Structure 1
Amino acid sequence: MKHTAEDYLLSSVKNALRILRSFSLDEPEKKVTELASSLGLSKSTVSRLLHTLASEGFVTKDPETQKYRLGLTILQLNTVLTSHLEINREAQPILEQLVDDLQETAHLAMLDDQSVIYIHRVESRQPVQALSHVGRRNPLHCTSSGKVLLAHQKEEDIEAYIQHGLTQFTLNTMTDPRILREALHAIRRQGYAISIEELREGVASIAAPIRDYTGKVAYALSVIGPVHRFHPYDPTVIAKVKRAASEISEKIGYWPSSSSTRQSI
């Protein structure tokens, strides 16, 4: 099959994006050889793409270590994106109040591919905080926000995720498909999910669904903290998290049918 110039251009764009997505909090810097090996590309291809990305400020190279890291252009784009996310603006005062009440860090998260990605964060003033940040991706089956989002997907999408494999991270990670299905059913019924040391030891969290104007669960609100201090099974904690998620849902246009009925009377 003959490849056109356009095919090669699209391939280069895709590989450049793959390079950018390969950087993470755990691996913020990488050498050309590391990128070539992990992405299955030649070193010459990676070097050429990195040179192009560096010329536009998407990556920068440390002259001493010869390692690349993300550049300031990424930060500028992130600022533009987050400043225009309605959910972040509407949720900010509600999250601040929730953090003041519970004294733990709160997040907004959404589904992206088969991961949960955190799009907003309000930090607690507590001296010890669990590791998390905006832009971080985590699995769905072992995080409270991930389980909330997964629970409200179509059955075929849930099965596709399960068939992809339930990786075990701690002794508490749900790796049995039957147990996970039962947990997701309970989450839909009770309106919240709890995770106790399922992704990382020493970390507990609780999440509740946020619905958009169509009634679809589009986001999750989660509160996270260390297990020695944060107790998400506390009925008071559960009630406050669910109420905050409901308030955010209403802020972005969701009105329960009962509320709509009361307004029309």
Structure 2
Amino acid sequence: MVTSVGAPTVGAALRILSFMAAQQGPVAAATLARSLGLPRSSVYRLLGELAEQGFVLRFPEARRYGLGIAAFELSSGYVRQEPVTRLGRPVLAALVDRVGESAHLAVLVGGEVVYLVEERAPRRPALVTDVGVRLPSQLTASGRALLAALPREQVRALFPDAASLVARGVEVSPRELRAVLVATRARGYAEEDGEVTPGFASVAVAVTDRAGWPVTSLAVTFEAAAVTPQRRVELAGAVRRQAQELRRRLFGA
């Protein structure tokens, strides 16, 4: 692409694609120009080139543009390369080295969390959060961190009634879950104490994408009786810093 002053640039094209990816549907060129602060002529020129390469589709009747199949192929390649696991593993290992407690990386799948990576600290007992294990999201710190980052409407869709929240012999009402998630947002991290494994507690922080959607969560699990309240806050701070590092690795500054 041309990169002289005032002409379309690769950066502008990427800004257009990123903006389109965050929308609910196709957008008008005028909306792109206004929202991104780009000359309308440059936007049309870039859209034409992106359409030729398959990254953008033009809807002539609606006078709007949407993402094309090439953009989908990029996202499929992203998934195949397992970036969350590959980039998350060293970040998780650094967290374990720093705090001396076991840690794990998890994602939200429906109403459950699935654990992708576990790093066990030396001389710490084995946990139930092994790779591939699924647990009810409402009971785990990892799940609560991810749920707290979702729109409230999405949480209601996942758990529409009390029956959908019964898991592992624990019954949580929708009102109780809302209170937990409100507290999680206010505190900046999620926690659970003995709800997954008696005697163990966890703190977790979600990693969100550029649109604010939760992608994964980092968590540390420890013996509850051996950790003071102040130490829990310190652990949560360490998890938050590593979550920010993983977000930087995944999505840039």
Q: TM-score, normalised by structure 1?
A: 0.59
Residue in structure 1 matched with residue 234 of structure 2 by the alignment: 236
Give the residue type in structure 1 aligned to 2:186: R
Residue in structure 1 matched with residue 193 of structure 2 by the alignment: 196
The alpha-carbon deviation at position 189 of structure 1 amounts to 2.8
Most deviating of 109-118 and 152-161: 152-161
Residue in structure 2 matched with residue 167 of structure 1 by the alignment: 166
**Partner residue of 1:88 out of 69, 85, 90:** 85
CA distance in 2, matches of 1:178, 1:108: 27
CA distance in 2, matches of 1:154, 1:214: 12
How far does the alpha carbon of each residue in 1:125-182 deviate from its partner, in whole angstroms, 9 at most, with x for none? Answer: 1242322211100001110001111112232221233315222547xx5613222201
The alpha-carbon deviation at position 109 of structure 1 amounts to 0.7
**Partner residue of 2:155 out of 152, 155, 158:** 158
Residue in structure 2 matched with residue 102 of structure 1 by the alignment: 99
CA distance in 2, matches of 1:232, 1:182: 21
The alpha-carbon deviation at position 223 of structure 1 amounts to 1.0
**Match runs of 1:107-186 below 5 Å:** 107-162=104-159, 163=161, 164-167=163-166, 169=168, 175-186=172-183
CA distance in 1, matches of 2:195, 2:243: 22
Does the 8 A contact of 1:100 with 1:124 survive in 2?
yes
How far does the alpha carbon of each residue in 1:16-56 deviate from its partner, in whole angstroms, 9 at most, with x for none? Answer: xxxxxxxxxxxxxxxxxxxxxxxxxxxxxxxxxxxxxxxxx
Q: Structure 2 regions of 5+ residues with no counterpart? A: 1-77
Residue in structure 2 matched with residue 218 of structure 1 by the alignment: 215
Does the 8 A contact of 2:113 with 2:137 survive in 1?
yes
Does the 8 A contact of 2:100 with 2:121 survive in 1?
yes
Secondary structure at 2:146 match in 1: helix
Q: Structure 1 regions of 5+ residues with no counterpart? A: 1-80, 256-265
The alpha-carbon deviation at position 92 of structure 1 amounts to 2.4
Over 3 Å counting, the alpha-carbon distance change for 1:216 and 1:82 in structure 2 is: closer
How far does the alpha carbon of each residue in 1:48-71 deviate from its partner, in whole angstroms, 9 at most, with x for none? Answer: xxxxxxxxxxxxxxxxxxxxxxxx
**Match runs of 1:28-43 below 5 Å:** none
The alpha-carbon deviation at position 206 of structure 1 amounts to 0.7
> Alignment length, in residue pairs?
173
CA distance in 2, matches of 1:228, 1:129: 17
How far does the alpha carbon of each residue in 1:74-98 deviate from its partner, in whole angstroms, 9 at most, with x for none? Answer: xxxxxxx999311222222221121
CA distance in 1, matches of 2:126, 2:79: 23
The alpha-carbon deviation at position 230 of structure 1 amounts to 4.4
The alpha-carbon deviation at position 194 of structure 1 amounts to 0.5
Most deviating of 108-117 and 152-161: 152-161
Secondary structure at 2:137 match in 1: coil
Does the 8 A contact of 1:95 with 1:122 survive in 2?
yes
Secondary structure at 2:144 match in 1: helix
Does the 8 A contact of 2:115 with 2:133 survive in 1?
yes
Residue in structure 1 matched with residue 250 of structure 2 by the alignment: 252
Secondary structure at 1:252 match in 2: helix
Secondary structure at 2:180 match in 1: helix
Residue in structure 2 matched with residue 30 of structure 1 by the alignment: none
Give the residue type in structure 2 aligned to 1:220: S
